[in-house]
Amino acid sequence: MRAWPVLSTILWWPTLGALVIGFLRWLEALRGKAWPQDLYRQAALFFSGTAFLMVLPVVVFFHTGYSGLQFEEQVRWIPEWGISYALGVDGLNVLLVGLTALLVPVAVLSAWQEVREHVAGFYAVLLFLETALFGVFLAADLLMFYVFWELVLVPMCFIIFVWGGPRRVYAAFKFLLYTFAGSLFMLAGIVYLYVRTGGQSLLYSDILQVLQTTHPLSLREEVLLFLAFAIAFAVKVPMVPLHMWLPAAHVEAPTSGSVLLAGVLLKMGTYGLLRFCVPLFPQAVPKFQAAMVALGVVGVIYGAWAALAQTDMKRLVAYSSISHLGLIVAGIFALEPTAVQGAILQMVNHGISTGGLFVLVGLLYERRHTREMDAYGGVAHVLPRYAAVFLVVLLSSIGLPFLNGFVGEFLIFWGAFRRYPVATALAVTGVIWSAVYMLRMYQRVMHGPVTREENRRLTDMKPHEWAATVPLLVLAVWIGVWATPFLERTQTALRWIIRQ
Written as one string, the DSSP assignment of 46-67 is HHHHHHHHHHHHHHHT--TT--
Cα–Cα distance, 472 to 487 (Å, whole number): 18
Specify whether the CB–CB gap between 278 and 497 falls below 8 A.
yes
Note if the pTM is more than 0.85.
Answer: yes
Burial 471-500 (b: 16+ CB within 10 A, else e): bbbebbeebbeebeebbebbbbbbeebeee
Number of domains in the chain: 1
pLDDT digits (tens, 9 = 90+) for 15-41: 999 999 999 999 888 887 778 888 999
What lies within 8 Å, CB to CB, of 168 at 6+ separation is: 160, 161, 162, 252, 253
Are 266 and 258 spatial neighbours (Cβ–Cβ below 8 Å)? no
Distance, in Å, from the CA atom of 257 to the CA atom of 174, rounded to the nearest integer, reads 15
Least-confidence region, from 130-134, 180-184, 385-389: 180-184
User: pLDDT digit string (tens) for 298-347?
Assistant: 999 999 999 999 999 999 999 999 999 999 999 999 999 999 999 999 99
Does a structural domain hold residue 277? no
| Opening angle at CA 204, ends 201 and 209, nearest 5 | 80
Q: Which domain holds residue 426?
A: 284-500
Q: Is residue 251 part of a domain?
A: no
How confident is the model over 107-117, as a mean pLDDT? 90
Is the confidence at residue 432, as pLDDT, over 60?
yes
Q: Is residue 169 part of a domain?
A: no
Q: What are phi and psi of 224, to 5 degrees?
A: -65, -40
Find out whether 378 and 445 touch, Cβ atoms under 8 Å: no
**Do residues 427 and 330 lie in contact, with contact meaning Cβ atoms separated by under 8 Å?**
yes
Asked if the model's pLDDT at residue 499 lies above 90, the reply is no
What value does the mean pLDDT take over residues 203-228? 92
Asked if residue 361 is part of any domain, the answer here is yes
Instruction: Evaluate whether residue 293 is within a structural domain.
Output: yes
Residue 270 covered by a domain: no
Mean pLDDT of 172-197: 93
Give the per-residue pLDDT at 99: 97
User: How many angstroms separate the CA atoms of 140 and 88, rounded?
Assistant: 6
Of the candidate ranges 169-173, 222-226, 489-493, the one whose mean pLDDT is the lowest? 489-493
- 185 domain-assigned: no
Q: Which of 327, 294, 324 is nearest to 307 (CA)?
A: 324
Residue 299 inside a domain? The answer is yes
Q: What confidence score (pLDDT) does residue 220 get?
A: 95
**How confident is residue 1, by pLDDT bands cut at 50, 70 and 90?**
very low
pLDDT band at 2 (very low <50, low <70, confident <90, very high): low
